Amino acid sequence: MDGSTAAAAELEAAERVVMRWDSTASASYGGGGGGGGGDEQMLFDGGGDRVEAERFLRAVDDLRRLAPPSPATVGSPRRTSSASGGGGAASNAVQVAMARLEDEFRHVLTSRALDLEIEALADLTSLSMCSDRTNSADVAEEAAAAAADEDDSVSSSVGRRSSYRSLRSIREIDLLPADAISDLHAIASRMAAAGYGRECVQVYASVRKPAVDSALRRLGVEKLSIGDVQRLEWEVLEAKIRRWIRAARAAVRGVFASERRLCFLIFHDLPLSSSTITTATHDAPFAEAVKGAALQLFGFAEAISIGRRSPEKLFKIIDLHDAIADLLPDVSDIFAASKAGESIYVQAAEIRSRLADAVRGILSEFENAVLRDPSKTPVPGGTIHPLTRYVMNYSSLISDYKTTLSELIVSRPSACSRIAPEGNENAPSFPDLDLADPDSQLPLAAHLIWIIVVLEHNLESKASLYKDAALSHLFVMNNVHYIAHKIKDSPELRGLIGDEYLKQLTGKFRLAATRYQRTAWLKILNCLRDEGLHVSGGFSSGVSKSALRERFKSFNAAFEEAHRVQSAWYVPDTQLREELRISIAEKLLPAYRSFLGRFRHHIENGRHPELYIKYSVEDLETSVTDFFEGCPPSLHNRRRSHG
Amino acid sequence: MPVTEHQGSSSSPSTFSFGRSLLSLRRDHVAMPSGEEADLEAFQRHFAASLGELLPGEVEGGGGGGGGGGGGGGEEILSVAWIRRLLESFILCQEEFRVFVAQARRRGALPAAGEKLVVEFHERAVKALDVCNAARDGVDQVRRWERLADIAASVLLAPGEIHEGQLRRARKALSDLSVLLVDDTAASGSGGVASFLASHRNRSFGRARASPSRASLAGATSSSHFRSLSWSVSRAWSASRQLQAIGAGLAAPRAHEAGLAAPVYAMGCVLHLVAWALVAAVPCPDRSTALQAHHLPAAPARAAFPWAPPLLTLQERLAEEGKRKDRRNSCGLLKEIHVLEKSTQKLTDAIDAAPIPLFGDREADVREAAAELAAVCAAMRDGLEPLERQVREVFHRIVRSRVEGLDSSMHNAD
C-alpha cells in the first residue's frame, strides 16, 4: 500500500512537471512553473541551463515507468485492469509530454543547425570560373583540367577549409553540434519508447528535407525537367554537366553522407516502427529527408543519358559516366542499406549503364558519320580535308579516354560491316576490314582502326572529286600523311592502333606521293628524252632542229603550266613538302641538265635561242621551291631576278 | 549497332537479332496470310482488347476502404489497382508496337516516311517521361499523407479506452495532414477540399490552443515545417502544358495512309490517355488545369478503328470522374485519395463531436471512422509502392524503345 501511494505521488509529481509545459496551452500553465515563463520558452534552448530539461525528461521517464501502460503504445499487451480515470490522466500527460517533446525536437533541430559550408564542399569559386570560361568544346583542355583536378584533390580532406577541389571520398560533416545531437537523441528515445516514433520521424524529415533541398540549391543543382534538358543547346549542357559533376560529388559525399550520419546518431538504437509499419528502419528518416533531393539530383544525369546521340557529346558523356561510376560505391554505401533509399542506388546504377550505352551508341554514330560524311566540294589545293582533322582530333581524344572506353567498348566493329547494309541497298559500300589478330587486340583499338579505315574510304571518294588525277593523288598523300602523323604524335593513339597499321598508312601516303609524281611529271620528263629527235639514217649530226625546238617549247609550256597550277596546290607539312620538292628536283634537274648539255648548242647556233631555252637549271631549281605553297606563282619575278 | 552490342557475344548475327527473330517467329505462325495487313489487324485487335479489359464493369462494387475487393480484374476505375492495370496495358501495347515496327523493318516495308512516324512517336513518348517523374513524386507525396493519417487511425484503434490524450494525438496528426493537403492542393491549383480542411482546422484546432499568440506561433511553425512538398521538376513545369505537348498534332490518319500511320496514331492516343490518367490520379504541379476535360486527346471516330470505342469509353469515364462534384476539388482522382480525404474529414468530425470521456455511440463513431481511415491507409501501403515501381517501369520502357529507335534510325538514315 505504501509503495503504491508513493508511486502515485511520484506519478502525480511527474504529471505536474509535464503539464507545466503543455505546448497547446502554455500561457495558462506556463506562468506557474519554474521554467515556463515566456511564450517562446523552450526546454532545450542550447543554453547552459539544462536543469529544467533534465527534470522534464525524468518526469517523462517516470510517467512511463509508473503509469499504467498507455493504450496508445500500439502493440503493447493490453492491461485490462487500469483505473480508467488515472489511465486517462496519465495518457493525457503522456500526450502533453510528447507534444512538448515534438516541439522541442523541432526547435533543437531547427535552431541548432550549423551552417553547412557548401563553398568548401564544392569549391564553388573555381566552379564559377569554370562556367565563365568560353565553352569552346576544347575537350583536350577539359581533360587536362580534369587531370589537374585529380592531382590536387587527393590531398588533405581534414580541416574545414582545406584546399581540396572536389570530394574524392565520403566526408561527414557535423550538421549540428554534439550536445544538440545528444539532446535530440534523448528526446527521440523518449518519443520512440512512448510509441511516438512516427511523429518524431515526421518532424525530423520535415525539418531536414528543406535543409537538404537548400544545400543542393546552393550547390547549383537545378530543377530541370527532361523536356528542359532536351531543349537546351549542347554547349549549355556541357557547362551544366561540368557543374553537376562537382555538385554531385559534394551532394553525395558531403550532404547525403552527413545527413545519414546525423540520422544514425539520433535514431540508430531506437525502435521507430510501430507494429503497423514494417519497413521502417533507423535510416528511414534519412531516406525520407533526402529522397526527393537525390532523385532530383540524378534526374539531370538521367535526362542527359536519354538525349539524342551525336558525336560531339561523347567526351562530356564519358565524363558524366565516369563521375557516376566513381560515385556509385558511395551511393551504395549511403543508400542501399534502407529499402526507401535502395531505389536511389538502383536509379544511379541504371543511369550509369544507360550512359555507357549512350557512349557505345555515340561511337557507332560517329563511325557512321565518318563513313557517310557527304561533303562534295573538293578542298582547294588538295590539302587536308576538315573531316580528316576532325576525325583525327576526335580519335586522339578517344585514346585519351582509353581507360573508360576500353571498359565500355567490348565488342569489335566487324559485326557492323555485315549487319548494317542489310535491307538497305543504298547504304554506301562498306570497306573491308581485315584485322590481323583479333584476340591480341582491344576492341577499342579495332574501333579506332575501323574509324580510320572508314575515313580513308570516305577520303578516296572525296579524292575522286578532283578533275586532275595528280591533285587527287596529292590529296590522298596529304591526308594519309596527316593521319599517320597524328598517330605518331600521340603515344596513346599509337599504342592502340599499333605500328603495323601505322606502317600500312606510311606505305599508303608514299605510294600516293609516287603516283602523284608519275602522273604529274611523266609527260614533262618525256619532253627531255632523246627518242624522236634524231633524224633516222642521218650520219653525224642527225638531230632534227625543228623537232628539238618543238621539244623545248613543249617542255617550257608544260613546266610553266605545272608551275602555275601546282604552286597553288598545298602540302601543309613542311617536311613532306620539302621532300616532295627534292624528289621532283632530283628527277627534273639532272634530266634537264643533260638534255641541255646534249642539245643546247643546236639551239644556240640558231636564231632566237632565248625563245627555246628559257630556263637555266638554276631557274628550274628555284621554281621548284614555289611548288605546293598554296599561293599564286611568282615565276616571272624570280626569272627576272635571276636573269 | 556495332558498339551497342557488347555482352561478349562476339560477332554472331543470330545473337544480335535474337529478340527480333523470336518475336517474328511467333508472329509468322499467328499471322499467316499477307504480312503487313495481317500484322496491322492483329495489332489493332490486341490493342482494342487490352483497352477493353480496362473498362470497368458497370456494377459499382460497393466495397469501401481499400483495393482488397473485386477479384477478377473488376477494379474500380482510378483505383490504385486499376491504374496499375492501365500501365500494364500500356506496356503491353508498346511491346506489340515494337514487334510491329521490327516486323515491318525486317520485311523492308518501312520506308523513310514510316521511320519518321516511329521517330515522331518516340518524341511524343519522351514527353511522357516528365509525367512519369511527376507522378512518382505525387505517389511519394500520397504516401506521406498516408503516414500521417495512419498515426491518427492507429492511435484511435488501439485496444483500450480512448482518452483525451489519444484524441489530442489523433487530432494533431490530422491537423498536420490537413496542412499537407492544403499545400498540395494549392500547388495543384485547386481549392475545394483543401480550403474546407483549412477552415476546419482553424475551427477545431484553434480551440485547443488557448493562447492566441502561442497558437498562431505553433500553427505557423508547424505548417511551414510540414510544407515539405518539393517537386523534382522545375518550378515552371506544368502537367497541363506537358499533356498538351503530348497530344499536340495527334490526328487520325486519313484512309489512304497505310502502314504505320494507324498504329502510331493508336499509340499516341493511348500514351496521351495514360499520361492524362496519371496526372488526374495523383497530385502534380498545375494538375487542376490539366483536368479540364478538353485536354483529352482529340477523339478518333468511333467506327474508324477497332480500338476507338473502348478508348472513347475510357476517356468519357475518366472525364466523368473528373467532373464529379465530390472529386472536382480533390488532390487526386485516385480512388484511395478520395477515400482518404473523405475518411479524414469524417474522423475529424467524429473527434470534434466527441465528448470526453468517450462512450457509446460517440466512441463507436470515432472508431468506425478510424477503421475506415486505417483500411485506406493499409490499401495505400500495399498499393502505392508497386504503383511507383510500375510508373518507373513505364519510364524505362519508353526510354528503351526510344534508344532502340535512335539506333535503328541511325542505320537507316538517308
pLDDT, tens digit, 9 for 90 and up, residues A456-470: 999 999 999 999 999
Among residues of chain A, what percentage have pLDDT more than 70? 77
Q: Which DSSP symbol is given to A541?
A: S
Quote the pLDDT of residue B230. Answer: 56
Q: What is the pLDDT of residue A163?
A: 33
Cis omega before residue B263 (within 30°)? Answer: no
Residue B163 domain flag: yes
- What pLDDT, on a 0 to 100 scale, did the predictor assign at position A602? 85
- Listed in sequence order, the DSSP H helices in B1-55 are 13-16, 18-30, 35-52
Confidence at residue A212, expressed as pLDDT on a 0 to 100 scale: 94
Averaged confidence pLDDT in chain A: 81
Pick B158's closest partner by Cβ from A71, A88, A213: A71
State the pLDDT at residue A624.
93
Q: Is the pLDDT of residue B239 over 90?
A: no
Residue B65 lies in a domain: no
Find the farthest-apart pair of alpha carbons in chain B and give their distance in angstroms, rounded: 83
pLDDT computed for residue A48 by the predictor: 63
Q: Which residues of B touch A88 (CB under 8 A)?
A: 161, 163-165, 357
| Total count of domains within chain B | 1
Task: State the average pLDDT over residues A288-316.
Answer: 93
Lowest mean pLDDT segment, chosen from A199-203, A208-212, A311-315, B230-234:
B230-234
Calculate how close chain B gets to A618, using CA atoms only, in Å.
Answer: 56
User: Taking 70 as the threshold, does the pLDDT of residue A449 lie above it?
Assistant: yes
Pick from A411, A234, A395, A409: which is nearest to A317 by CA?
Answer: A234
Mean pLDDT of the B288-316 span: 77
C-beta atoms of B2 and A372 within 8 A: no
Helix (H, G, I), strand (E, B) or coil at A570: strand
* Per-residue model confidence as pLDDT tens digits over A160-171: 333 334 567 888
Please tell me the least confidently modeled range out of A196-200, A439-443, B392-396. A439-443
Residues of A in contact with B9 (CB under 8 A): 411
Lowest mean pLDDT among A63-77, A314-328, A601-615: A63-77
Cell numbers describing residue A122: 564544392
CB contact under 8 A, B6 and A372: no
Segment B70-84, tens digit of pLDDT: 334 567 889 999 999
Contacts of B127 in chain A (CB under 8 A): 227
Give the distance from residue A574's alpha carbon to the nearest chain B alpha carbon, in angstroms. 38
pLDDT at A173: 87
CA distance A549 to chain B (A): 58
- Is B66 domain-assigned? no
Res. A439: pLDDT tops 80: no
Residue B355 at interface with chain A, using a CB cutoff of 8 Å = no
Question: What confidence score (pLDDT) does residue A73 get?
Answer: 45
- Ranked by mean pLDDT, the top range of A216-225, B32-41, B100-109 is A216-225
Query: For A383-434, how does the pLDDT look when each residue is reduced to its tens digit (9 = 90+)?
Result: 999 999 999 999 999 999 999 999 999 888 754 443 343 333 344 455 555 5
Query: Is B368 within a domain?
Result: yes
B140/A99 CB distance under 8 A: no
Task: Report the pLDDT averaged over residues A476-489.
Answer: 96
Confirm whether B211 is domain-assigned: no
Report the distance separating Cα B88 and Cα B94, nearest Å: 10
What pLDDT sits at residue B148?
A: 93
Q: Which domains are present in chain A?
A: 54-63+99-113+168-360 (1.20.1280.170), 373-416+438-512 (no CATH), 528-642 (1.20.1280.170)
| Beta-carbon separation of A295 and B136 below 8 A | yes
Q: Is residue B205 domain-resident?
A: no
The model's confidence at residue A500, banded by pLDDT at 50, 70 and 90, is very high
- Do residues B341 and B100 lie in contact, with contact meaning Cβ atoms separated by under 8 Å? no
- The predicted pLDDT at position A531 comes to 80
A354 interaction partners in chain B (CB closer than 8 Å): 399, 403
Q: Is residue B181 part of a domain?
A: yes
Interface ipTM:
0.80
Average pLDDT over residues B50-58: 77
In a domain, B26, yes or no: no
Instruction: Specify the pLDDT at position A438.
Output: 57
pLDDT, tens only, B345-404: 999 999 888 776 666 778 888 999 999 999 999 999 999 999 999 999 999 999 988 888
DSSP A311: G
Which DSSP helix (H) or strand (E) runs through B207? none
Lowest-confidence pick of A390-404, A462-476, A499-513, B110-124 = B110-124
pLDDT of residue B44: 85
Q: pLDDT value at position B37?
A: 78
CA–CA separation, A213 and A297 (whole Å)? 10
Most confident of A31-40, A541-550, B311-320: B311-320
Interface contact flag, A277 B13, Cβ < 8 Å: no
Average pLDDT over residues A129-146: 39
One-letter amino acid identity for A260?
Answer: R
Distances from the Cα of A326 to the Cαs of A216, A245, A341, A383, A608, in angstroms? 19, 11, 19, 43, 84
- A80, pLDDT greater than 60: no
Share of chain B above pLDDT 70, in %: 67
Q: What's the gap in Å between the CA of B290 and the closest CA on chain A?
A: 17
In B, which residues are within 8 Å of A409 by CB distance?
Answer: 3, 6
Q: How far is CA B398 from CA A141, B106, B130, B148, B247, in A?
A: 36, 22, 11, 34, 16
pLDDT at A297: 95
Q: Which of A25, A98, A36, A206 is nearest to B206 (CA)?
A: A25
Q: Give pLDDT, residue B205.
A: 40
CA-wise closest residue to A50 among A199, A203, A188, A186: A186
Bigger pLDDT: A498 or A338? A498
Chain B residues close to A308, C-beta within 8 Å? 406
Q: What is the pLDDT of residues A362-384, one digit of tens each?
A: 998 899 899 888 888 899 999 99
Residue B149's domain comprises: 77-187+235-412
Task: Specify the range with the lowest mean pLDDT, choosing from A178-187, A207-216, A246-255, B7-16.
Answer: B7-16
The full length of chain A comes to: 643
Backbone angles phi, psi at A338, to 5 degrees: -105, 155
CB contact under 8 A, B399 and A306: yes
The answer, yes or no, to whether residue A32 has pLDDT greater than 50, is no
- pLDDT (0 to 100) of residue A135: 38
